[in-house]
Amino acid sequence: MLPSGLSLNEATGVLSGTPAAVADAVRLAFTVTDSRTPVQKRTITVHFTVAASTDNVSVSPNLAAVTVRQGLAVTATTSDGAAVSWSAGGSGCGGRRCGTFSSVTSASGGSVTWTAPGRAGTYTIAATSLSDNAASGSVTVAVTDMAGVLTYHNHLSRDGANTQEYALSPSTVSVATFGKLFSCPVDGAVYAQPLWAPDLKIGSVRHNVIFVATENDSVYAFDADSSSCTLLWDANLLDPAHGGTAGETSVPSGITDYLVGNNQPDIAPEIGVTGTPVIDPVTRTLYVVSKSVVPSGPTFYQRLHALDLFTGKEKFSGPVNITATYPGTGDGGTTTTFDARSENQRAALVLFRGVVYIAWGSHEDTPPYYGWVIGYTANTLSQVSVFNDTPNAGYGGIWMSGGAPAVDAAGNLYMITGNGAFDATSASAPQNDYGDSFLKLSRGLKVAQYFTPSDQASDQANDGDFGSGGAVILANLPPNGSNPRHLVFGGGKDGALYVLDGDNLGGFGDSNAWQKIDLGLPILATGAFWNSTFYIAPRNGTLEALSLSSATARLSSVIQQTPTVFPFPGATPSVSSMPDNTNGIVWALDNSQYCTFRSPGCGPAVLHAYDAENLHRELWNSTQGTGNSAGNAVKFTVPTVANGKVYVGTRGNNTGGLDSSSSIPGELDVYGLLPH
C-alpha cells in the first residue's frame, strides 16, 4: 500500500507526500487515487527498488588558519570521480565577501586556491559533487587580521595576549587535532622569542614570516606556514656586509673556554644574539643586537643592526658599534664607560615613536657591570639617550629574565633593576643609584619615578634580585574615586608580587605600593594579562591566575592554578583568544631541562596548553601523542602564538656543551592544527 501521506496525481504522474523513512533497496506498493469525478480509487501494486546515494566528498585540509587575503590550496576528492563545485560562507558574509576561488569547479583530486576575504572570522569552504548535489564536504578556515607578533610578549604593555586568534580553541587543541607540524634547524641556540609578521612580499610571493635569532649571531626568516622550512633569507651578523671584522666569532661560553662570566655559563655554548629583537612594521625593519669577539685580543663588539625585513640586508648605514659613557664614580673617576665584554644584552629590545631602546645586565653576576639603557634613533641609528641605574655603586643589571621594559601611552619606560646599591633617599650625594628598584624612565631616559621595596638591602645582600621578573602595564581602568587608573605589576626572587600605581610608583618602602601579594615562590618571569586576569608561574610553583577587580583596582588571591608544577625557572605564559575573549587558552613552556650550568638535566622544552577559564583543565602538552617532542630547552624562552600555530625556540640536540658541533645546534619547533 502507498504509505500514509502520499498520493499520485494521475495527470502528472507525480508522487507527493512524506513517507516514513525507507532503507536502501526495498520494494514498495502504493495505491493510486483517481481524482476525476466521480471519485474512483484503484489499487495498483508497483514493485521498485529505492537505493540511497553512496557518493561522498572529502576535503583536505579539514582545518586551516590563514591571514586576511591569504590564499589557501584546498583539494576535494569524490568517491565516484565526479568533479565538484566550490562555495564559501561564514562570518556574516555573502558572495565575494566570503572570499574568492581560482576556479569555481575542479576535477576530483584537483586543487583550487581560495583567497580569504579582508574580514577576520571563521569561514566554511564547501565542495559539492556535480553528479550528486546531496554529496558534499567542507573545511573550516580561521582568518586572522592580527598585525603581527613584532615585539616581546606581543605588546608594549607586555601582556602576552593574542586576542585575534580564530583557529585555536579548547575544542581544537587536543591530541587528535593539534600537534607538532615541523621543525626548522638553525645554527645556534634560540634564546630570543621568535617574531611573526604577516603578508610580506618577498620576491614575487607573499608569505607569513617567522624570524629567528640565534646565539651564533644569525637571523633567519622562514615561511611561517611551510612544512619544508622554506628559508626566505638568513643573515650572519658577523660577515663584512653586517659589520663583522676578520677573525670575529660569537663569544665562547663553555666551561673551559669562557671569555665572559665566572665559569658558570648560563648561556652556552656561545653568546651572540640573546635579547629578543623588535620589528618596525612601518619601515619594515628588524632591530637586533649582536655580541662577538676577536679571540686573539680579545676584542669585544656589541652592535645594533637594522635589517630589511625582505632581504636581511643592513639599513640606515648600519650597523652601529655600541659605546656609551655616563657620569658616575663607579669606574674610579667621574665617568663610567660601557664595556662590551662585561655587559649582557639579555632584556628584549623596545621600539617606541622612532627610538630603539636597549637594556643590559651582567654575565653570571661578574663585575664590573652596570644596568645600562641606551636609546637610538630608529631611522639613523644615532645615539640619543643614555642611562646608568648604578653609576657610582655598580651592579643593578636590567635583565628581567629576558623580558622587555614596558611602555605606556606617553612613552614612559617601566623596568625592574637587579641586585645593587640604593641611595636615592640618602641625605648626601650620590643619590642616583637604583639597585633592586622599579623604575619609570621618561622617553629621554631620566628617572621620573621609582619604587623600591622595604627589603632592598636584604635583596642586595642575599641575591634577592628584585629585577628577576618583568613588568606588565595595565592601562585605562575606569575612574573610581581615588583608585589608580594605570597599574603596573612586577616581582622578583623574594616571591612578592607588587601592584603599583603607574602614575605614582611611590618611592621607597612597601607601604607605598598600591598592593603587595606574597606568592611565596621566586618570580623569574613576565606575567600575562587577559580578560581582567593576571597569570604567572613562579619558580617551582603552579601556573596561577589572579583576578583584577575594576571596582577596587586590586588583584584577588589565587583563584585558579594548574595541576602542573613548573620547576626552575618557572614560566612566562602567553594567552590566545577570540576578540570577544572566548576560546581563551594559556600557553606555557616548561624549560626546566635547559642543559647549562645548574640545570637538573638536559631535555626537551615542554609546551603546555590550558583552558584560560579553568587552569585545572589541561588541554594538551607536547609529551602527549607521538612526534610532538621539542628540541632541548633554553632558559626563559617564550612561545609565540599566531595564526593557528605556536612557535618555540630551542637548542636542538645541543646539550649545552663546549661548542655547537652537535648535528642540530638550534631549532625552531612549530605546533598547530593537524591537517588531517
pLDDT beyond 60 at 375: yes
Cβ atoms of 561 and 543 within 8 Å: the answer is yes
Q: What is the pLDDT of residue 291?
A: 98
In this structure, are strands 178-186 and 666-673 parallel, antiparallel, or unpaired? antiparallel
Give me the half-sphere count of Cα atoms (radius 13 Å) on the Cβ side of residue 530. 32
Cβ atoms of 660 and 214 within 8 Å: the answer is no
Whole-angstrom Cα distance, residue 438 to residue 271?
28
Whole-angstrom Cα distance, residue 18 to residue 22?
11
Whole-angstrom Cα distance, residue 574 to residue 158?
10
Enumerate domains of the chain plus CATH numbers: 7-44 (no CATH), 57-144 (2.60.40.10), 161-673 (2.140.10.10)
Grid coordinates belonging to 48: 521498485
* DSSP state string for 545-589: EEEEETTTTEEEEEEEEEEEEE-TT-B--EEE--TTS-S-EEEEE
Sheet containing 472-474: which strands, arranged edge to edge? 472-474, 487-491, 496-501, 515-518
Whole-angstrom Cα distance, residue 246 to residue 98?
56
- Mean pLDDT value across the chain: 92
Cβ neighbours of residue 209 closer than 8 Å, sequence gap 6 or more: 196, 197, 198, 200, 202, 221, 222, 223, 224, 232, 309
439-458 residue pLDDT tens: 999 999 999 999 999 999 99
Rounded mean pLDDT, 37-41: 59
Rounded mean pLDDT, 632-636: 96
395-440 residue pLDDT tens: 999 999 999 999 999 999 999 999 999 999 999 999 999 999 999 9
Phi, psi (5° rounding) for residue 402?
Answer: 90, -5
**Chain mean position to CA 566:** 19
91-150 residue pLDDT tens: 889 988 999 999 999 999 999 999 999 999 999 999 999 999 999 999 999 999 999 999
Residues forming a β-bridge with 124: 89, 140
Burial degree of 540 (CB within 10 A; 0-12, 13-18, 19+): middle
Q: What is the pLDDT of residue 409?
A: 94
Cβ neighbours of residue 642 closer than 8 Å, sequence gap 6 or more: 144, 146, 148, 149, 162, 165, 196, 208, 224
Whole-angstrom Cα distance, residue 2 to residue 478?
71
Cβ atoms of 277 and 213 within 8 Å: the answer is yes
Question: Which band of pLDDT confidence, cut at 50, 70 and 90, is reported for residue 264?
Answer: confident
Cβ atoms of 82 and 112 within 8 Å: the answer is no
Q: What is the 3-state secondary structure (H, E, C) of 162-182?
A: ECCCCCCCCCCCCCCCEEEEE
Q: What is the pLDDT of residue 676?
A: 77
Bigger pLDDT: 243 or 95? 243
Q: What is the pLDDT of residue 16?
A: 44
**Total-model pTM:** 0.92
Residues forming a β-bridge with 359: 373
Q: What is the pLDDT of residue 476?
A: 83
Whole-angstrom Cα distance, residue 621 to residue 619?
7
Angle at 628 between CA 213 and CA 208, to 5 degrees: 45
Task: Express as a percent the part of the chain with pLDDT over 90.
Answer: 87
Residues forming a β-bridge with 78: 57
**Chain mean position to CA 136:** 37
CB atoms within 10 A of CB 448: 16
Angle at 193 between CA 257 and CA 441, to 5 degrees: 95
Whole-angstrom Cα distance, residue 574 to residue 230?
26
Whole-angstrom Cα distance, residue 45 to residue 29?
5
Weakest-pLDDT range from 266-270, 337-341, 472-476, 529-533: 472-476
Angle at 275 between CA 273 and CA 277, to 5 degrees: 90
Phi, psi (5° rounding) for residue 295?
Answer: -60, -30
Whole-angstrom Cα distance, residue 673 to residue 176?
9
Rounded mean pLDDT, 574-595: 98
CB atoms within 10 A of CB 670: 23
Q: What is the pLDDT of residue 335?
A: 98
Bigger pLDDT: 24 or 662? 662
Question: Which band of pLDDT confidence, cut at 50, 70 and 90, is reported for residue 573?
Answer: very high
Grid coordinates belonging to 254: 663553555
Weakest-pLDDT range from 30-34, 173-177, 304-308, 421-425: 30-34
In this structure, are strands 30-34 and 105-106 parallel, antiparallel, or unpaired? unpaired
Question: Which band of pLDDT confidence, cut at 50, 70 and 90, is reported for residue 34?
Answer: low
Q: What is the helix, strand, coil percentage profile of the chain, to 5? A: 5, 40, 55
Rounded mean pLDDT, 577-590: 98
Query: What is the distance between the terminal CA atoms of the chain, rounded to a whole angstrom?
Result: 48
Whole-angstrom Cα distance, residue 642 to residue 168?
9
Question: Which band of pLDDT confidence, cut at 50, 70 and 90, is reported for residue 23?
Answer: very low
Per DSSP, helices labelled H in 41-168 are: none
Whole-angstrom Cα distance, residue 234 to residue 241?
12
479-491 residue pLDDT tens: 999 999 999 999 9
Cβ atoms of 328 and 259 within 8 Å: the answer is no
pLDDT beyond 70 at 635: yes
Element (H, E) at 458: helix 456-461
CB atoms within 10 A of CB 579: 12
Rounded mean pLDDT, 533-560: 96
Kindly state the DSSP code that residue 241 receives in the 8-state scheme.
G
Q: What is the pLDDT of residue 70?
A: 96
Q: What is the pLDDT of residue 22?
A: 41
Whole-angstrom Cα distance, residue 27 to residue 248?
87
Bigger pLDDT: 92 or 351? 351
